[in-house]
């Protein structure tokens, strides 16, 4: 169970999922209280809160429409990984502090774990898998391989997407730009040297 849900922490950070859960809980609590027993409401709060029913959500991923039936509380990350089997984006930290769940939505980097799937209808979602078509790979994928910008590889796809989107926006990025622009992702094995070299090569050192 994630710590975020605990009462004795300083409180969860604002997050859509918490907000939705919180509202549902508050509504149930009010209804119960008017029936006379606040204690009963509190006691049942934990067990009587259920999510809204699953509904059809159509997502455009890597140029293809997919319709999945999911509850409104389900994140884009879970739909991509668990329903569509696009497991390149990883679940590393429930708070998305690491960037391994980076995808592109309408060309912008987004942390798939902090977006609800229903929010993403009608948008163009791109995952790391789109950067390889058979033998043909995107220059960022090729650059990561060339500079050995990976070890265990678990953070790598998220870093690849972040790098692709960053370079699309900053084709002439300098070293300082790269260090700032790719600061949203974490690698544990220590592959930053190769990632920096890859990004610098593609941006031609900002010149």
Partner 1 sequence: MAERKVAWKKRKDNTLIGGDHTRIDGVEKASGHAKYAADINTAGTLFARLLTFKGGAAVVKSIDTADAEKTPGVRAVHVFNGAGKELRWDGTIVAAVAADTPEQAEDGVRAIKVAYEAKPHWVDEEDLPGATAGKRTKPLGDNKKGDVAAALKAAKHVHKGYYGIATISHMCLETHGSHCEWDGEDKLNVHLSTQNVSGTGGQFAGPLGIDASNVSITCNYIGGGFGSKFAADEWGVACAQLAKKAGKPVRLMLDRATELKIGGTRPSGFAEVTIAADAEGNITVWDSHHWGTSGIAGSTISLGQLPYCFDGIPNRNRKATGISTNTGPNRAWRAPPHPQLCAVTDTVIDDLAAKMGANSYDIFMKNLDKTPKPDVYAEEMKIGAKLIDWKAKWHAHGKGGGKSVKRGLGMALHRWGGRAGATTCTVKVHPDGAVETFLGSQDLGTGTRTVIAITLAETFGLGINDVKVNLGNNSYPKANPSGGSITVGGVSGPHRRAGLEALWKIYDLVAAKYKVEADSLSAKGGKILSAGKSVCTWKQACGLLGPMPLEVQGQGPKNDGLTSQGVAGIQMADVSVDIETGIVRINELVAVQDCGLIIDELTARSQVYGGLIMGIAYALSEERVMDNRTGRFINADLENYKLPRIGDIGKLKVHMYQPDSEYERGVVGLGEPPVISTGAAISNAVANATGVRVPVQPLTPQRVLEALKGGQA
Window 5 to 24, contacts with partner 1 (CB under 8 A)? 5-6, 8
The nearest distance, CB 89 to partner 1, in angstroms, is 7
Given 41, 76, 112, 160, the residue binding partner 1 (CB under 8 A): 160
Given 3, 106, 121, 201, the residue binding partner 1 (CB under 8 A): 3
The nearest distance, CB 148 to partner 1, in angstroms, is 5
Q: What is the enclosing helix (H) or strand (E) of 193? A: helix 192-202
Count other C-beta atoms under 10 Å from residue 110's C-beta: 22
The nearest distance, CB 14 to partner 1, in angstroms, is 14
Distance CA 170, CA 139 (A): 15
- By CB under 8 A, residue 192 contacts partner 1: yes
| x/- map, 80-109, partner 1, by CB under 8 A | -xx--xxxxxxxxxxx-xx-x---------
Distance CA 194, CA 128 (A): 18
Which residue, 13 or 122, is less far from partner 1 as judged by CB?
A: 13
Place of tokens 């690849």: 160
Return the DSSP state at 135.
Answer: T
CA separation, residue 103 to residues 16, 97, 205 (Å) = 18, 14, 25
């Amino acid at each position: 169970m994630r710590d975020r849900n605990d009462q004795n922490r300083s409180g969860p950070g604002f997050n859509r999922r918490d907000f939705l859960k919180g509202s549902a809980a508050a509504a149930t609590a009010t209804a119960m209280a008017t029936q006379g027993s606040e204690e009963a409401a509190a006691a049942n709060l934990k067990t009587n809160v259920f999510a809204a029913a699953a509904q059809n959500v159509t997502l455009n991923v890597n140029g293809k429409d997919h319709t999945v039936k999911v509850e409104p509380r389900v994140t884009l990350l879970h739909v991509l990984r668990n329903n569509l089997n696009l497991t390149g984006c990883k679940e590393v930290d429930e708070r998305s502090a690491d960037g391994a769940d980076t995808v592109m939505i309408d060309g912008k980097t987004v942390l798939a774990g902090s977006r609800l799937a229903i929010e993403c209808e009608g948008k163009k979602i791109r995952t790391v898998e789109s950067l390889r078509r058979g033998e043909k790979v995107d220059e960022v994928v090729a650059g990561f391989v060339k500079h050995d910008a990976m070890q265990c590889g678990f953070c790598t796809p998220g870093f690849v997407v972040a790098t692709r989107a960053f370079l699309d926006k900053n084709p002439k990025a300098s070293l300082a730009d790269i260090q700032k622009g790719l600061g949203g992702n974490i690698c544990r094995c220590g592959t930053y040297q190769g990632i920096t070299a890859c990004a610098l090569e593609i941006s031609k050192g900002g010149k």
